[in-house]
Homo-oligomer: A and B are copies of this chain.
Amino acid sequence: MGNIREIAKLAGVSVSTVSRVLNNHPYVKEEKRKAVWEAVEKLNYTKNINAVHLAKGKTSIIGVVLPYVNHPYFSTIVEGISMEALQCGYHLLLFQTSYEANKEIEALEMLKMKQVDGIIICSRTIHWEWIEAYKDYGPIVLCENVKGKDMLSVYINHYQAFKLGMNYLIEKGHRKIGYCIGRTTGTNSKAREDAYYEALKQINESPRPEWIFDHCLYIEDGKRVVTSLLTMKERPTALLVSSDQVAAGIVTFAQHKGMKIPEELAILSFDNHPISEALHITTIELPLSLMGKRAFRMIYNHLESGEMTKKTEELSVHLVERLTV
């Protein structure tokens, strides 16, 4: 495909006519449509993308490693990456891993084999060493705190975010606090766990394992949490919930079951996705789309300028007070 100007020139029509044909506009004369067509056909044969890539030694493809495509936490990061990638003429190769180690390694292998120019790891299960072994093959950005390691990273400080949430609940008088999380393993989850235990320690409360809910990712998981709460003799008075989706499930199902929110159960969520606004859920905003954008920019700058300095960027969060605490 030549650009739109080349097509217009060759077809002997205006740029806006080419645009109308491209965008499937109804009022274009058949004769002009045909001319545009023929011009495209001719220009098709004058360019070979593979040859360009070979010459440049790059593919203009960035690999994105993430566990679930269909979760707003990750699809929002991908949207951010995608927006910047489009502007820079890059494409995204998705590795939906379901946290299977071999799928993550496959992505790293493709970096090594020069099938992608760089990799963004949104979340991972493999050991740190595995990633480090590939770092000389091209830029790898992690969306987690790499703590002084020589890697590119842009991350949300989940320790601070959870601490902020805990302190807010404690200020509001809560002492029996539980939390819901996507998985209990992983760097970000460990950071959240640390913040939770430390905050409890500060108010001399012991953690209660039954108030920690694992595998909470989707709206329907909120239903499971409420069902479980209803069977407990002693319930927490507040929950930190690591995803707006799960919080939405908890709030709607708890209300359905006659539980008063926040009187009987306070909910403090994370993300500030539109669903939390619609349901008036108090939440801590996580800049996920921004994180995706910055991650792409790090790779891009690295590739374009050959800059080798490894950078780490921390993104800040803030509390959005609504009606569930």
Which A residues are within 8 Å of any B CB, using their own CB? 1, 4, 19, 21-24, 37, 40-41, 44, 48-50, 61, 68-70, 72, 75-76, 78-79, 82-83, 86, 91-96, 98, 101-103, 105-106, 109-110, 112-115, 125-130, 133, 185, 218-220, 222, 245, 248-249, 252-253, 274-275, 277-279, 289
Contact = CB atoms under 8 A, between A and B. Distances in A.
Given A22-B101, A83-B96, A219-B278, 9 more contacts: A19-B101, A24-B101, A24-B127, A49-B110, A49-B115, A70-B75, A70-B79, A91-B95, A220-B277
Contacts of A253: 278
A102 B49 contact: no
Contacts of A69: 75, 78-79, 82
Contacts of A103: 86
- Best-buried of A21, A23, A248 by chain B (most CB within 10 Å): A23
A141 B83 CA distance: 25
A82 B103 CA distance: 12
Contacts of A93: 61, 91-94
A219 B274 contact: yes
Contacts of A92: 93-94, 96
Contacts of A220: 274, 277
A21 B130 CA distance: 10
A323 to B, nearest CB: 11
A41 B1 contact: no
Given A23-B126, A219-B275, A249-B274, A113 B37 contact: no
A182 to B, nearest CB: 15
A22 B278 contact: no
A113 B279 contact: no
Contacts of A274: 218-220, 245, 249
B23 A101 contact: yes
Nearest to A104: B22
A198 to B, nearest CB: 21
B96 A86 contact: yes
Contacts of A218: 274
- Best-buried of A96, A133, A185 by chain B (most CB within 10 Å): A96
A220 B83 CA distance: 20
Contacts of A40: 130, 133
Nearest to A52: B113
A284 to B, nearest CB: 19
B1 A106 contact: yes
A32 B154 CA distance: 32
A133 B126 CA distance: 44
Contacts of A78: 69-70, 94
Nearest to A70: B79
A115 B79 contact: no
Nearest to A278: B252
Nearest to A185: B24
A113 B70 contact: no
